[in-house]
């Protein structure tokens, strides 16, 4: 197999505010191959978005700082590039869709303007050609009457339509990697179904790789091949989606899967949940970050931080008790309506 298209290697990102250092990302490593869909899931504050924005270097610095690690795209370390070189990649070879379609478009320019701006920033084409391309892009993402809609302002579009415009802008330069940061969280279910369908269809047609960041496992089952589960700025488990669903290994993943409401469950039986809340990342974490909430925790978990190790082919987990020699027995679901803190 050839080199991966994108490789994030031991990435550490920290935010410095005053004398407090918050370690938002603590050693994230993953690879993205061509035409592959990777999902990243985790609770708020687990470092999903910081990882993604670090790839494109969109995080404000200061306060943010990449403390360690490397990001290779086609063999080049993106962190070593000059800002001019980076600009050639950003929006061109790697592009991004953001969560909130209503705040990520500029309200004082027409959508056509914003599309043409992106195209002309990266390609030497005339205004007329750029406009033609913009119209065909709007058509591609399923906006009716694109030749009229191109002269409209973002406020004249609905949420779902705005997200389509965002996708059109992201696709303007035929990117090889598309980073989608919670692309459907702000949308209704019926619109979410439309957008996910569209993304799948476009991927088949254009052959790009997608990094899908979400907290909704339903979206992952729908679209991804591989899944990274993040907790407290670390990847705690990574596997193919099917493996992870059939044989999850990390206790946090178990909790996450158990908290999903499944068909046939009703309010007579309480929902499983993970007691407590994630650790504060502005303190040094000793041992496993999940230890306080883990029902299987033992002495070693407080002392040593487990590393992400491949236990089965293609399935890695960061847990002291999940190795190829030794495995944990999964307990019954935990129920809680209380607050541990």
Q: Is 29 in the site for another protein (CB under 8 A)?
A: no
Residue 332 binds to another protein (criterion: CB under 8 A) = no
- Residue 219 in the binding site for another protein (CB under 8 A): yes
| By the rule CB under 8 A, 99 interacts with another protein | no
CB 308, CB 318: distance < 8 Å: yes
Comparison of 2 and 246: residue with beta carbon closer to another protein: 246
| Selected range binding another protein among 14-22, 76-84, 189-197, 315-323, rule: CB under 8 A | 189-197
Q: Considering only 103-111, 117-125, 174-182, 329-337, which stretch makes contact with another protein by CB under 8 A?
A: 329-337
DSSP 119-169: HHHHS---HHHHHHHHHHHHHHTT-SSHHHHTTS-GGGS-HHHHHHHHHHH
Q: How many residues in the chain?
A: 341
**Shortest Cβ distance from residue 255 to another protein (Å)?**
6
User: Considering the rule CB under 8 A, would residue 1 count as an interface residue with another protein?
Assistant: no
Can you tell me the distance from the alpha carbon of 136 to that of 152, in angstroms, rounded to the nearest whole number? 16
Q: How far apart are CA 251 and CA 229, in angstroms?
A: 11
159 burial via Cβ count (<10 Å: 0-12, 13-18, 19+): middle
Task: Tell whether residue 267 is a contact of another protein (CB under 8 A).
Answer: yes
Neighbours of 262 (CB within 10 A): 8
CB of 308 to another protein, least distance (A): 21
User: Measured from the CB of residue 273, what is the shortest distance to another protein in angstroms?
Assistant: 4
Quote the least distance from Cβ 91 to another protein, whole Å. 27
DSSP 175-192: -SEEEEESTTTTS-HHHH
Phi, psi at 308, each rounded to 5°: -75, 115
Which residue in the set 24, 134, 141, 274 belongs to the binding site for another protein (CB under 8 A)?
Answer: 274
Cα–Cα distance for residue pair 321/300, rounded to 1 Å: 10
Which among 96-104, 105-113, 261-269, 308-316 is the span making contact with another protein, rule CB under 8 A?
261-269
Q: Which residues contact 168 (CB under 8 A, 6 or more apart)?
A: 115, 134, 137, 138, 140, 141, 143
> For another protein, which residue of 126, 262, 313, 324 counts as binding (CB under 8 A)?
262
Give Cα 312 to chain centroid, integer Å: 24
CB closer to another protein out of 48 and 131: 48
Asked whether position 155 contacts another protein by CB under 8 A, the answer is no
Near another protein by CB under 8 A: residue from 9, 31, 43, 100 = 43
User: What's the rounded Cα separation, in Å, for the pair 104 and 207?
Assistant: 25
> Which listed range, 12-20, 52-60, 84-92, 239-247, lies at the site for another protein (CB under 8 A)?
239-247
Residue 153 interacts with another protein (CB under 8 A): yes or no: no
Rule CB under 8 A: which residues touch another protein?
43-44, 144, 158-161, 188-194, 197, 215-222, 241-242, 245, 255-256, 259-263, 265-267, 270-275, 277, 335-339, 341
């Amino acid at each position: 197999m050839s080199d991966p298209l994108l490789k994030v290697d031991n990435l550490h990102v920290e935010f410095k505010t005053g004398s407090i250092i918050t370690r938002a990302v603590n050693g994230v490593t993953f690879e993205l191959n061509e035409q592959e869909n990777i999902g990243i899931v985790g609770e708020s504050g687990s470092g999903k978005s910081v990882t993604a924005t670090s790839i494109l270097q969109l995080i404000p610095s200061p306060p943010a700082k990449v403390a360690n690690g490397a990001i290779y795209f086609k063999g080049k370390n993106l962190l070593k590039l000059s800002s001019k070189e980076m600009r050639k990649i950003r929006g061109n070879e790697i592009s991004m869709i953001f969560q909130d379609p209503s705040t990520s478009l500029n309200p004082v320019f027409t959508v056509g303007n914003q599309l043409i701006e992106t195209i002309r920033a990266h390609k030497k084409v005339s205004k007329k050609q750029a406009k033609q391309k913009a119209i065909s892009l709007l058509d591609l993402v399923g906006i009716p009457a694109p030749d009229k809609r191109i002269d409209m302002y973002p406020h004249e579009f609905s949420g779902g339509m705005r997200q389509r415009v965002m996708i059109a802008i992201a696709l303007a330069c035929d990117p090889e990697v598309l980073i989608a940061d919670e692309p459907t969280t702000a949308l209704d279910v019926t619109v979410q179904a439309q957008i996910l369908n569209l993304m799948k269809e476009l991927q088949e047609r254009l052959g790009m790789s997608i990094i899908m960041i979400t907290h909704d496992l339903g979206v992952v089952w729908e679209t991804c091949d591989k899944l990274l589960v993040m907790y407290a700025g670390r990847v705690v488990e990574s596997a193919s989606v099917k493996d992870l669903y059939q044989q999850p290994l990390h206790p946090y993943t178990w909790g996450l899967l158990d908290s999903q409401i499944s068909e046939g469950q009703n309010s007579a039986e309480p929902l499983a949940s993970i007691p407590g809340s994630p650790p504060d990342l502005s303190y040094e974490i000793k041992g496993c970050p999940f230890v306080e909430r883990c029902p299987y925790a033992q002495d070693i978990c407080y002392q040593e931080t487990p590393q992400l190790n491949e236990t089965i082919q293609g399935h890695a987990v960061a847990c002291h008790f999940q190795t190829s020699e030794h495995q944990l027995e999964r307990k019954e679901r935990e129920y809680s309506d209380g607050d541990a803190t």
